[in-house]
């Protein structure tokens, strides 16, 4: 099953973005429509940049059983908010429900997007998501901290595949720490399965990705046995 693919030329997509209504805050009116740019997507988390507010939002997409997300990096999409958006998750204050699958309008890659991403990157100070270690108890969250972080690594990134359990991890240096994140990006996982190597970094990683890595998109997962884990949702270029 594939989402609708518009045949509009790229210049029309750019005009749609540039002429969209601008807001200071994310419009979360139930039933309203949101124009957004995909930063990362799996069946568990879809992360987008809201074009109107230039904020990062988490979409809960109602993927049908057995259907994998086919949203790709920098896809321009439109999503209709559900009438029950459920903004009560204190571990994921940016998360909202969609009423249906988002509609793909095309792609959006411009210098403007480069500036928007730079403005969103997390400051390299303190601890990622405010705590040390890979996870934190769900009941300790109060909705005061973001659950998404766009990071410019100080070292790396490096993508690794563990032989013992077949899991994929992303390693990088940031804020003076050596950070390992479980990978929840289907594209990176497929890349490691295809290349059949244990590790990719530097020029080899850039060749496999098709671009030089600029950002790591990190997030907090849904609770697993009462804990939310730090995960990697993708690696992004400068654009």
pLDDT band per the 50, 70, 90 thresholds, residue 78: very high
* Pairing state between β 46-50 and 75-80: unpaired
Q: Is the pTM of this model over 0.85?
A: yes
The Cα 212–Cα 153 span in angstroms is: 12
The Cα 120–Cα 55 span in angstroms is: 8
What's the confidence (pLDDT) of residue 9? 54
pLDDT band per the 50, 70, 90 thresholds, residue 185: very high
What's the confidence (pLDDT) of residue 156? 94
CB 209 within 8 A of CB 238: no
The Cα 119–Cα 80 span in angstroms is: 26
Whole-number average pLDDT of the chain: 90
Segment 137-155, tens digit of pLDDT: 999 998 888 999 999 999 9
Structure-token match 């990190």, residue found: 218
Domain ranges within the chain, ordered by starting residue = 10-113, 121-236
The Cα 184–Cα 168 span in angstroms is: 8
What's the confidence (pLDDT) of residue 178? 95
Longest dimension (CA), the chain: 51
Q: Which numeric CATH code is attached to 10-113?
A: 2.40.50.640
CB 53 within 8 A of CB 24: yes
């Amino acid at each position: 099953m594939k989402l609708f693919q518009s045949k509009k030329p790229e210049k029309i997509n750019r005009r749609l973005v540039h002429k969209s209504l601008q807001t200071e805050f994310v419009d979360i009116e139930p039933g309203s429509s949101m124009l957004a740019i995909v930063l990362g997507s799996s069946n568990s988390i879809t992360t987008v940049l809201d074009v109107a507010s230039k904020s990062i939002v988490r979409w809960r997409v109602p993927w049908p059983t057995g259907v994998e997300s086919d949203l790709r990096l920098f896809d321009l999409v439109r999503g209709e908010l559900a009438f029950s958006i459920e903004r009560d998750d204190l571990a994921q204050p940016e998360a909202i429900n969609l009423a249906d699958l988002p509609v793909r309008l095309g792609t959006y890659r411009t210098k403007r997007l480069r500036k928007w991403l730079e403005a969103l990157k997390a400051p390299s100070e303190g601890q990622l998501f405010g705590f040390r270690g890979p996870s934190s108890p769900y009941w300790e969250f109060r909705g005061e901290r973001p659950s998404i972080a766009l990071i410019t690594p100080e070292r790396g990134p490096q993508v690794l595949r563990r032989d013992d359990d077949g899991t994929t991890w992303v390693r990088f240096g940031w804020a003076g720490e050596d950070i390992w994140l479980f990978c929840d990006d289907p594209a990176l996982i497929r890349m490691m399965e295809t290349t059949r190597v244990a590790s990719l970094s530097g020029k080899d990683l850039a060749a496999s990705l098709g671009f030089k890595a600029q950002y790591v998109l990190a997030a907090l997962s849904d609770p697993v046995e009462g804990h939310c884990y730090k995960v990697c949702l993708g690696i992004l270029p400068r654009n």
